[in-house]
A and B are shown apart, each in its own frame.
Chain A
């Protein structure tokens, strides 16, 4: 460790000394995108790059895609990205997986808003409705496939979804929108950009929505579905080349979440966040210092209450040396804690160091190498529940986990139209706070729901090769991507009769239950014409193979919600055909997903239910009027009044009428 840090520090110092006098600037995505005629991203390496040159498999959903989607939520929009699986459990809840392994409380995906982690630390999943942003303020959604942990740290194992909102310094975006729909859907939202003088710009957005839950076919005790959000984003130019961005968000929502083995849980989330980012252009590069705090209070069925706080502080320097070398060096401190039963607190802090080197080795060949080292210190303080006090000690949680992560990529722009990409990545999924130590007891201590501080992180390694070709003849492009992924020490959900722990009571807890490998291929084809017609088609195939650890079998993995070979569909495909002119915009979306099995959402977790392959149809027709007014009719699940897409509630057909104005 010391040698590693020394080498990293020495390399960084040498690079800094040799750095040319760069004078950096916060990223103006809009201008860069318009200049290069393609989206721009920083989610691959931390350095701004054209999407076509990023050394990762990435798809970008643009603001225009979002507007044309007719969707009212992020999961529906993301379901149209190649290789993305969505489990729509209820009207306001969905789990998302990238290239398989989707499950309840899907833990393998890192979700960010402008680089701020929004996935919920205590159980490692994303409650999409708790994101405080409105769809209208999103510039683009960057979907990175496979691990990207060397940039974002652990948990970026299946993929990363980074939601980029408009920057009020560069983007003057205001809107007001009202939407009504079937199943009592009501939504109102608004947002306004403002400036004070030349040095301060901001945007304030907010909205409320409410809808009926899907028909209760389980049946289960379901609550209502409501969402309220507010979000503030400001940029202040403190001095020449020194700017401060402050972002703060708040979300309150009621929804029906699903936990395998626990069924539907009427849930109330209150989430808030505050982030400050300082960008400073210096002679040694673009310096950035950021700090944020996420707070969450989750009430499950008005009984179990989870309070979780995450604090992160980071610094980084991004600089170019000579004409062919770009470097990023960074350090991060992360702290998270959660009260647990028995007046205890489970917590860990993580110190991280990371570096990235992008080398334009040849005019048409770029090499990127990135590494990150995480040093996690786990701790527990406080007392224990009555049933555990006799044999548990806080010293069981005194543990240190050290994790290296790597990303490497070679991008060969063989011609102006052809790009070949070869990638390697290794990331780690850290056990969640709940998995490590959320102790609680039931039945006077006869049944203990326990964390397991001995859990190992899940290590995910990914190898990929892809080929992209621009097709100016049809105003589009084609890409094909092949990948092979290995997962080691997959963490199973809590189950009875844990084989590793013997205590004088019945324990349900987490364990590392299996390894797994997955191979697959994705293909995307796009076209656009002067006539205004455009289309996108994508297809993804994945084949998952489970390898149970000693003491487990393929059958027992089902009870651990880790039978991914059975619960991952092999095929998913999307087709979008659209047409625009100055006044009209028409889109149709067809999605197909092949059959798969999913754990019963009731209390019989050992059973799988088959979900047959299904096809969905969605559409939007919009008419633009003067002064920024738009009237749109859109719908999801149009072919059937209700459709089974998970082992839970059937998804209702939804139709919406939206009136909006932008300026």
Chain B
């Protein structure tokens, strides 16, 4: 016998079945985080700097040529940037920079530090030049070598090292600061 209660239960069961069926039928989900996502977040985060950059921003992609993982990440980031990567009010332009050349790399507005690089030395050189450093390795930010750490998988997380930010003379806008983690 069909009662109003059983109709309700049936509908609920059908809704759940429909959702699960859709999940199975429609195939694999969206892709995991990739360098393009990291760049998108990093680029937009730069626009929340007080008096931050707009327009063309040259991102020095710092890598260690002796470490394959670092080189691979550099290549992936450069490929994602291509001829120019629009992220909000900025367009990122990539420039590969070997870790030992950070102090002398010309025309760079910010550094993206790939994994495996001796980030202590890179951070020191960048601070001396008052240039913002961004990295995906949490240790880089925690140590103060990177001003900002960006991860996008499984969700976007941004961490800013306030001492490192102060050392390069930058400050982030208040709304942004209230939505990220600061250390």
Contacts and interface: CB of A to CB of B under 8 A. Distances in A.
Interface of A: 21-28, 31-32, 34-38, 40, 47-50, 52, 281, 285-286, 318-320, 323-324, 326, 360, 363, 416-417, 470-476, 525, 527-531, 533, 535, 537, 539, 570-571, 573, 575, 577, 592, 594-595, 612-613, 615
A27 B179 CA distance: 11
B15 interface: yes
Interface stretch (B66-74, B103-111, B117-125, B168-176): B168-176
B29 A472 contact: yes
B76 interface: no
Given A31-B88, A573-B12, A472 B174 contact: no
Given A48-B178, A320-B178, A613-B7, A23 B88 contact: no
Contacts of B27: 529-531
Given A21-B171, A530-B30, A535-B22, 10 more contacts: A22-B177, A35-B88, A37-B155, A48-B175, A281-B174, A323-B162, A529-B28, A529-B29, A537-B16, A613-B4
Given A25-B174, A48-B178, A417 B162 contact: no
Contact of A474 (B11, B23, B88, B183): B23
Contact of A318 (B15, B19, B44, B174): B174
Interface in B151-166: 152-158, 162
A94 B77 CA distance: 52
B101 interface: no
B128 interface: no
B155 A52 contact: yes
A320 B157 contact: no
B99 interface: no
Q: How many B residues touch the partner, as a band?
A: 35 or more
B11 A36 contact: no
Contact of B178 (A49, A416, A592, A613): A49
Nearest to B150: A35
Contacts of A539: 12, 15
Given A34-B88, A363-B181, A592 B155 contact: no
B105 to A, nearest CB: 26
Interface string B28-55: 1111100000001100110110100000
Contacts of A471: 29
Contacts of B29: 471-476, 527-530
B8 A323 contact: no
B1 interface: no
A474 to B, nearest CB: 4
30 contacts: A21-B171, A22-B177, A23-B171, A25-B174, A28-B175, A31-B47, A34-B40, A34-B44, A38-B156, A48-B175, A48-B179, A49-B179, A281-B174, A323-B183, A416-B157, A470-B154, A472-B154, A473-B28, A476-B29, A527-B23, A527-B26, A528-B29, A530-B30, A530-B31, A535-B19, A539-B12, A575-B18, A575-B19, A594-B8, A613-B7
A378 to B, nearest CB: 38
A35 B148 CA distance: 14
Interface string B95-137: 0000000000000000000000000000000000000000000
B19 to A, nearest CB: 4
Give the most central of A35, A319, A360, A577: most B CB within 10 Å: A35
B155 A416 contact: yes
B43 to A, nearest CB: 9
A360 B178 CA distance: 11
Contacts of B8: 570-571, 594, 613
Contacts of B47: 31
B69 to A, nearest CB: 21
B154 A416 contact: yes
Contact of B179 (A32, A285, A594, A612): A32
Interface of B: 4, 7-8, 11-12, 15-16, 18-19, 22-23, 26-32, 40-41, 44-45, 47-48, 50, 88-89, 152-158, 162, 171, 173-179, 181-183
B156 A36 contact: yes
A52 B29 CA distance: 20
Nearest to B43: A35
Secondary structure call for the B interface: mixed
Nearest to A47: B178
B79 to A, nearest CB: 20
Contact of A32 (B89, B155, B175): B175
Given A37-B156, A474-B29, A573-B11, A533 B175 contact: no
A25 B15 contact: no
A527 B22 contact: yes
A398 to B, nearest CB: 43
A339 B174 CA distance: 44
A575 B7 CA distance: 16
B116 to A, nearest CB: 22
A478 to B, nearest CB: 10
B157 to A, nearest CB: 7
Contacts of A417: 154-155
Contact of B15 (A27, A476, A575): A575
B30 A472 contact: yes
Contacts of B19: 525, 527, 535, 537, 575
Nearest to B47: A31
A218 B48 CA distance: 58
Given A530-B30, A537-B18, A539-B15, A23 B173 contact: yes
Contacts of A318: 174, 178
B23 to A, nearest CB: 5
Contacts of B177: 22, 320
A40 B44 CA distance: 15
A472 B23 CA distance: 12
Contacts of B156: 35-38
A551 to B, nearest CB: 34
Contacts of B171: 21, 23
A596 to B, nearest CB: 11
Most buried by A among B48, B152, B175: B175
Nearest to B175: A48
Nearest to A328: B178
B157 A35 contact: no
Contacts of B18: 537, 575, 577
Contacts of B155: 37-38, 52, 416-417, 470
Nearest to A469: B154
A539 B11 CA distance: 11
B57 to A, nearest CB: 15
- The interface centre, meaning the residue of A27, A48, A416, A474 with most chain B CB atoms within 10 A of its CB, is A474
Contact of B26 (A49, A50, A52, A529): A529
B182 A323 contact: yes
Contacts of B157: 416
Contacts of B88: 31, 34-35
Nearest to B44: A35
A192 to B, nearest CB: 23
B22 A615 contact: no
Top 9 nearest A-B pairs (CB, nearest first) are: A24-B174, A475-B30, A323-B182, A35-B44, A22-B174, A416-B154, A475-B29, A474-B29, A537-B19
Contacts of B176: 32
A281 B89 CA distance: 21
A398 B66 CA distance: 82
